[in-house]
Amino acid sequence: MKTHRTHLISFSEARAIVGALPPLPVEHVPLSGALGTITAGPVLAAANCPTIDSSLKDGYAVRSTDVAGAGRTTPVTLQLAGTVVAGGSDQTAVLPGTAVRIMTGGTLPAGADAVLASEFAEERTTTVQARADAHCGRNVLRRGADITAGAIIIEPGVRLGAGHLGLLAAAGVTAVQIYRRPSIMVIATGSELVAPGEPIGPGQVAASNMITVEAELKSLGLPVDTALLRDNLDNLEEVFSSALQNYDILLTCGGVLDGDKDLTLRAMQRCGVRQLFHRVRIGPGKGISMALAGDTLVFNLPGGPPSNHVAFRQLALPGIRRRLGCDNPFPGRITAPVTETISGPAGWTQFIYGYAGCLDAKSSLVARPLTTRPRLQAIAEANCLIEVPEQLCEVHAGNHTTVWLFNETF
């Protein structure tokens, strides 16, 4: 990947650079450590499920021809030849005129081709009366009906959830090839910042950006470490240098502008990072910088809460998704009409916090801008970002535009 010039680039250019990031290396992990990871190749079943023809019900294994005429008023009497339980080794066969009591999951005995559910049978000492018929295959789960050994059961690029792990376990898979999960460090910078839980004095600000970014990542199941640093260039360089050596991804919050105390990028330069872009024509969030230091991915985010959050969601989080192996690092993109006119500067992509939903049970999805909310309240209430594209200055009420939903996973 080539180093990008430091002039302002468009949102689409920045997205292309983020989308070109390679994923982290592949590794094999046991199922116990695979939740939330993304498959790096197709996963093949190691075993059939079930491994035998088995019963779906508690009942009686029978020959379907023996009970073909059975009914309430025309019961058929069969000799009881034994019992089969799930996991049992009894190999009792079903001969003409006989039945074998069978539990759910039990192996279908030789000779049987159906299971008569127990509610349609009356067992006596040595016999059972069938009071309904059971056609061939009734209540029988055939070998390999759920999973066939050797078949692809999960495609590449799938984020593994609880259901996937259950499927893998049933298929006899003990380990899976995935893209390694990144180690992530989030550092907030600024002498005015106070850590969560500390009293906020005059002129001080809580490090809410760090908390928001940390929570966004943890909600995706990603482990995160955090730190809060004062405005000291030498100390920033020392901590950044250590983080770049020990983490796969480093996110910083604040210090990306040109003021005397905006030291983040100066410290990054001292650390020898290779900047891919700095400043994007998006509002809010223009101050975002993206860089590489060896294999470590760096996003320097602005300090203002809306700028920080928009830059994180629209560019840094997609970059993390690429590292995780996501083929589509920009999910949640839809089009919807807006409920009121919104605007942005010419030549820039403007993002406005909004709430996407239906006005009533019969309505289709609309996006309602939260323009009257204070900044932090809008961030808390929003479930989407509404885009005013750079080629437009306004999106009029009722017109469709791009809406970026927050409720995606990866």
Q: What is the 3-state secondary structure (H, E, C) of the chain?
A: CCCCCCCCECHHHHHHHHHCCCCCCEEEEEHHHCCCCEECCCEECCCCECCCCEECCCEEEECHHHHCCCCCCCCEEEEEEEEECCCCCCCCCCCCCEEEEECCCCECCCCCCEEEEHHHEEECCCEEEECCCCCCCCCEECCCCCECCCCEEECCCCECCHHHHHHHHHCCCCEEEEECCCCEEEEEECCCEECCCCCCCCCCEECHHHHHHHHHHHCCCCCEEEEEECCCHHHHHHHHHHHHHHCCEEEEECCCCCCCCCCHHHHHHHCCCEEEEECECEECCCCCEEEEECCEEEEEECCCHHHHHHHHHHHHHHHHHHHHCCCCCCCCEEEEEECCCEECCCCCEEEEEEEEEECCCCCCEEEEECCCCCHHHHHHHCCEEEEECCCCCEECCCCEEEEEECCCCC
Mean per-residue pLDDT for 246-274?
92
Fold held by 27-49+146-179: Molybdopterin biosynthesis moea protein, domain 2 (3.90.105)
Looking at 2.170.190.11, 3.90.1010.10, 1.10.357.10, 3.40.50.2300, the CATH number of the domain 54-141 comes to 2.170.190.11
The pLDDT tens digits of the residues spanning 252-263 come to: 999 998 777 789
pTM of the shown model: 0.84
pLDDT bucket at 359, cuts 50 / 70 / 90: confident
Mean pLDDT score of the chain: 94
- pLDDT for res 410: 55
Fold held by 11-24+181-324: Molybdenum Cofactor Biosythetic Enzyme; Chain A (3.40.980)
The pLDDT tens digits of the residues spanning 187-204 come to: 999 999 999 889 999 999
- pLDDT for res 409: 58
pLDDT of 6 above 60: no
The pLDDT tens digits of the residues spanning 136-183 come to: 999 999 999 999 999 999 999 999 999 999 999 999 999 999 999 999
Domain ranges of the chain: 11-24+181-324, 27-49+146-179, 54-141, 333-405
Question: Does domain 333-405 bear CATH number 2.40.340.10?
Answer: yes
- pLDDT for res 395: 97
Mean per-residue pLDDT for 97-119?
96
